Amino acid sequence: MQVNGNSIDLTDAKLLSDLKYNQNRLLVRFALLDFEQPQGITYWYNLTGSSDNWVSNGKNTELIFNELQPGHYTLHIKATNASGHVISKIASIALNITPPFWKTWWFRLLLATAAAGIIYYFFRRRVKSVKDKADIQQQITELESKALRAQMNPHFIFNSLNAIQELIVTNKVTEGYQYLSSFSKLLRMVLNHSEKNLIRLSEEIETIQLQLSLEALRFKNAFSYSVIVGDNIEAEMINVPPLLLQPYVENAVWHGLRHKVGDKGLWVMIKETGQQLEIEIEDNGVGRARSAEINKQKLGLEQFESKGSALSGQRIKLLASQYPDTAAVYISDKKDENGEATGTVVKIVLPSNLK
């Protein structure tokens, strides 16, 4: 007997019971000596597991089986004479062809379990995504109420939260959480600072940075910004009035940069000269005159915006009455050689020894 062209010992039952799935081409040779009627012998075979019928092999003493499928088989061979009588003992060979691992029951069970696990994972992920969106929506609703009570600019509140909601709707949940965390932190700082007369300069800088990150999100990162602090400044040791810079920063974005075509930039520069703290908020927008022309039909919005910067101006005037010549605010437009506005600069001067 040969398996895939290799001879094997028919007495090796262990080998025959453990053939691999690709050991499925069999050649079986046999013979029966009948000295009286050698020409009258007919050979028959039956392969149980494939067919239960006896099949005539004529006088051929070879059987060839190609591409047998995995399974248990028993090959039976017999011989008959010219009269059709069985003249030999039925010879039997038992063999087993094992299936490939991907056709075994345990692999199919493992595959089904893995598929179920993957489906469950994505189902839980989807449920978590929906829950996260619902949680964020609830937080946004609560923050809207708190922000209004803190008297933050309604346009800044709603536009920032709408920008965050847009991230959630477009499945940028992680980024949405990050910005929501920034907005929550900004709100906490505004609430805390609004009850104080003075805060550390480092706290005001952090507030401005949070505000600018949200303004950038609100305008889909259409402008760049930076906060530059002089090397000689000890921001933890200097006090400033709280929330003094926010209206000027927002005006720079909303009035100066919003209408600008091309590269847009905003810079907050803080330096200390003698006993004075100088803060410049500079943009490369369209300038105040051009902005006023564009916004003539939006007086409701402009009145609200102007109120914020007007209040900051009044606070600086009050400081000037206590610290003459060391507290002031100056607003000017930058112009090119043709006299065209190229942006606005707000310069705020404060005493660096406020207590």
More confidently predicted of 142 and 135: 135
Section 238-248 average pLDDT: 88
Single-letter amino acid code for the residue at 350: L
Judge residue 158's burial from the number of C-beta atoms within 10 Å of its C-beta, 0-12 exposed, 13-18 middle, 19 or more buried: middle
Q: What is the pLDDT of residue 284?
A: 93
Give residue-wise pLDDT tens across range 218-229: 788 889 999 999
**Of the candidates 89, 94, 67, the residue with the CA atom closest to the CA atom of residue 78:** 89
Angle between helices 105-149 and 154-169 (to 10 degrees): 170
Q: What is the pLDDT of residue 330?
A: 92
Q: What is the pLDDT of residue 102?
A: 84
| Residues of the chain above pLDDT 90, percent | 23
Angle between helices 154-169 and 201-218 (to 10 degrees): 60
The size of the chain, in residues, is: 355
* DSSP assigned state of 321: H
Q: Which helix (H) or strand (E) holds 269?
A: strand 265-273
Section 250-254 average pLDDT: 87
Give pTM, 2 decimals. Answer: 0.55
Single-letter amino acid code for the residue at 13: A
Whether the per-residue pLDDT at 304 is higher than 50: the answer is no
Confidence of residue 332 (pLDDT cuts 50, 70, 90): very high
Q: Which residues contact 182 (CB under 8 A, 6 or more apart)?
A: 210, 213, 214
CATH 3.40.640.10 fits 222-355, yes or no: no
Angstrom distance (rounded) from CA 41 to CA 43: 7
Section 48-57 average pLDDT: 82
Whether the per-residue pLDDT at 149 is higher than 50: the answer is no
Instruction: State the number of CA atoms in the 13 A half-sphere of 339 facing the CB.
Output: 0
Q: Virtual CA dihedral for 168, 174, 178, 183, nearest 10 degrees? A: 20
Fold of the domain built from segment(s) 2-101: Immunoglobulin-like (2.60.40)
Q: Which residues of 209-234 are buried (b: 16+ CB within 10 A; e: fewer)?
A: bbbbbbbbbbbeeebebeeeeeeebe
End-to-end CA separation in angstroms for the chain:
105
Q: For 96-110, 293-307, 312-326, which range has the lowest pLDDT when averaged over its residues? A: 293-307
Both tokens assigned to 75? 């090959």
- Residue ranges of domains in the chain: 2-101, 104-195, 222-355
Angstrom distance (rounded) from CA 165 to CA 193: 27
More confidently predicted of 134 and 68: 68
Mean pLDDT of the chain: 83
